[in-house]
Amino acid sequence: SKSEGRSKLKLFDPVTLHSRQLQRQIVGDLREGIRADQLVLYYQPIVELATGNIEGCEALVRWNHPVHGLIMPDQFIPVAEATGLIAELGRWVLRTAMRQLRQWRDDPATQQTVFSMRINVSAADLQSLEFVDDVRDVLLAEGLSPDSLVLELTEGAIIQNNELDRYTLMSLRRLGVGLEIDDFGAGYSSMGYLRKLPVDRVKVDRQFVKDLGKDPSQLEFLAAIQQVIRSCGLEGVWEGIETAQEAELLRSIGCTSGQGYFFGRPLPEADFLARLKATRGH
Ligand code: C2E
Ligand code: CA
Ligand code: CA
Ligand code: CA
């Protein structure tokens, strides 16, 4: 866990990505990496702001490269998306995260801490007809109810909003899994679609909380965002909470769920398990 946030290799710098040769090499490495089990999931808690209780966790992928060490997702997700490898990666994440959740539920030391798993879904996943089947199959195989899974989708992925996407979203909705807009406010920032999309949660981009730390007068603005989310009948989750003050301010304007370094960094399985055991019974 020490490596988190440190010594992030800028191997796959966006500029050098334009080199087709390098891109091909990364793709080859990544394809091999997925098969050779070099991908690893870290888990970050999502907590109830009022109590600090864990109500879920987000699975965040890293690539444990045999030569280059731990590589952060920003360095290889874009490559995976550009090449179609993202489908295989997405399936691996889905399968691995839900198997992990089932293990925590089976373990007497952690089964009281019942919560849901959040995974990040890319635009390409939504365009694949098999995605809904994959989700259904994994839930069935692990014996988990649909509400133990929440899919995080970025505005960009949803707003492409062609008919197939919408069909996929509706199918997932009917299946009963949770759907959440991720990075809300970071990109297109159109309020209109909040009421129209079949989602039940909104994760507000961490840029807003960051601004709050610099300028407390931002609080009123954040309260307005929270108000809009609530008035659409959605649940708001606030990410990027790094201090007790930020957590308290958000709580004071009626925010209920949060995520960030203040509550816990993304942790490898063993460390997250220790954290779960320590908070048992809360
Ligand atoms: P995201 O979905 O917005 O995930 C949150 C990112 O913010 C994570 O970065 C997390 O480590 C970081 N973070 C959490 N709390 C704090 C905080 O308090 N302060 C700050 N400054 N940062 C915080 P990470 O793990 O590097 O992931 C980056 C992005 O990569 C994710 O952004 C997501 O878009 C993508 N990603 C990660 N895992 C997957 C995956 O399995 N599939 C796909 N398609 N994308 C993924
Ligand atoms: Ca996310
Ligand atoms: Ca986010
Ligand atoms: Ca993001």
pLDDT-derived band at 196, boundaries 50, 70, 90: confident
Alpha helix positions (H), 107-243 = 123-126, 130-142, 155-159, 163-175, 192-196, 206-214, 219-231
Mean pLDDT for the stretch of residues 213-238:
92
Residue 271, SS3 per DSSP: helix
What's residue 94's pLDDT?
A: 97
**Could you tell me if the CB of 41 is within 6 A of ligand 1?**
no
pTM: 0.91
For ligand 1, say whether the CB of 258 is within 6 Å of any of its atoms. no
Instruction: List the shell of residues around ion ligand 2, using CB closer than 5 Å.
Output: 120, 152, 182
Structure confidence by residue, pLDDT tens digits, 45-70: 999 999 999 999 999 999 998 888 89
Q: Is 92 in the pocket of ligand 1 (CB under 6 A)?
A: no
Distances (CA, A) of 69 to 26, 65, 74, 149, 265: 14, 5, 15, 30, 19
Q: What is the per-residue pLDDT across 125-141, written as a single tens digit (0 to 9) for each? A: 888 779 999 999 999 99
CB of 183 shorter than 6 A to ligand 1: yes
Residue 9's alpha-carbon distances to 16, 70, 75, 203, in angstroms, are 13, 8, 8, 27
ipTM given for this complex: 0.97
User: Pick from 46, 77, 73: which is nearest to 62 by CA?
Assistant: 73
Cβ(34) – ligand 1 distance below 6 Å = no
3-state secondary structure of 157: helix
Closest ligand to residue 73's CA: 1
Q: Specify whether the CB–CB gap between 67 and 278 falls below 8 A.
A: no
C-alpha 78 – ligand 1 centre gap (Å)? 13
Cβ–Cβ contacts within 10 Å for residue 96, how many? 19
Please check whether residue 256 is in contact with residue 55, taking contact to mean a CB–CB distance below 8 angstroms: no
**Residue list, CB under 5 A from ion ligand 3:** 182-183
Phi and psi for 97 in degrees, rounded to 5? -65, -40
Tokens 């954290």, residue located: 275
Residue 62 CA to residue 144 CA, distance in Å, equals 25
Q: Is 97 in the pocket of ligand 1 (CB under 6 A)?
A: no
